[in-house]
Amino acid sequence: MITVRRADPSDAAELVRLRAVMIRDAFGEPEPRPGEWSEIAQRQFRARLADSAGLLAAFVVDRPDEPERLASCAVGSVDTRIASPNSLTGESGYIFNVVTDPEYRGRGFSRACMEELIEWFAKRGVARVSLHASPSGEPGYRALGFAPPRHTALQLDLWNRSAQDG
């Protein structure tokens, strides 16, 4: 049996460590070294996991051999918009940071974390949850009921806009 628990602020460093693993796997780049990004991410995790508004949740599986470290996680956040006929709460969800350490893959840890996270969204009354899937993760997400959006999804990257304008 897989034991999944809800993460708390004390898990911030491990959530960031797993985030680095996910970035490496998803983008095929070397694992990012700790630095300014990881310090900011730890502060953000600590603050958002402690926030009484509860707009972020992370579900985790501890390493069986090292319970003070995490083997897997799935993180989700709630975005509040305006109510619509299909969403009376106006809340939508976004899942990110779904990852299992390589040595623990194939045991169902990520799926167990995802199932808990989906249930958390459902209990909040969130009508729709989205995520971005890597090619290796897509079959697992489809097995959980995820499908392509009905409308074309577009994005505008602003993070390097000032460098281009400069």
pLDDT at res. 35: 82
Provide φ and ψ at 44, rounded to 5°: -65, -45
Give residue 165's pLDDT: 60
pLDDT of amino acid 24: 87
Give the per-residue pLDDT at 58. Answer: 98
Average the pLDDT over 37-60 and give the result.
96
Structural domain boundaries, residue 125 = 5-165
How many CB atoms within 10 Å of residue 90? 14
CA distance 8 to 46: 8
3-state SS track over the chain: CCCCEECCHHHHHHHHHHHHHHHHHHHCCCCCCCCHHHHHHHHHHHHHHHCCCCCEEEEEEECCCCCCCEEEEEEEEEEECCCECCECCCEEEEEEEEEECHHHCCCCHHHHHHHHHHHHHHHHCCCEEEECCCCCCHHHHHHCCCCCCCCCCCCCCCCCHHHHHC
Predicted local confidence at residue 166, as pLDDT: 55
Count of domains forming the chain: 1
Residue 27 has pLDDT above 90, yes or no: no
Q: Render pLDDT for 97-143 as a digit per residue (tens, 0 to 9).
A: 999 999 999 999 999 999 999 999 999 999 999 999 988 899 999 99
pLDDT at 162: 62
**pLDDT tens sequence across 53-83:** 999 999 999 999 998 999 999 999 999 999 9
Whole-number average pLDDT of the chain = 92
1-26: average pLDDT:
95
- The answer to whether residue 164 scores a pLDDT higher than 70 is no
**CATH code for the domain in which residue 140 is found:** 3.40.630.30
pLDDT score for 15: 98
